[in-house]
Amino acid sequence: MSGTLAGASSFPHPDDDPVLGDIVVSQEALERRLAELGAQITADYAGRAPLLVCVLKGAVLFMADLARHIRLPVELDFMAVSSYGTATKTSGVVRIVKDLDIDLGGRDVIVVEDIVDSGLTLNYLLKNLAARNPASLAVCALLLKEGQQKVEPDLAYVGFRIANTFIVGYGLDVAERYRNLRDIRTYIGSDGDDS
């Protein structure tokens, strides 16, 4: 029996993958910024136990690493919201695919999001969560695409501000691929999207 999983295809090194472009955020920059964000949240929520709400699937790696940098008791919950499908551009139609398990009433909630571009999905999500009566509601976004917001987002914490380009890695994908890259890179391939 070989060490290769049945059905697994070879996955080229990111530097050799023709659909991947330049590194936008390096692994080292991610690690530094996560430590800073964790320290800031620890100071801001001193004496409290925030509930981190991960927006699946893109933010799962970010939340896992961020939680380890927060020096407070935290709880984790997960929510899946869809506006992309398998395309590289948002459809503008938001739907909840998986809802939370924990009651938000009276809780200090931090929504952990991978990327904010138009802001429409996040705006929908925040209105939905605010109606559940949390004690406080804040957003920690790993990435903010500059100049793309149709709705001005209220972001308490932002990891990096980036240009308007399609990116993958560190949780971000195209058709479920590239989430496991250790850095964030531009995506220059074609996924069949003609727009």
Residue positions annotated with a catalytic role? 117
The one-character DSSP state at 48 is: -
CA distances from 102 to 40, 132, 146 (A): 24, 11, 33
* Calpha distance 68→83 (Å, rounded): 29
Question: Percent helix, strand, coil in the chain (nearest 5)?
Answer: 20, 30, 50
Q: Using the CB atoms, write b or e for 10-35: b if 16+ within 10 Å.
A: eeeebeebebbbebbbeeeebeebbe
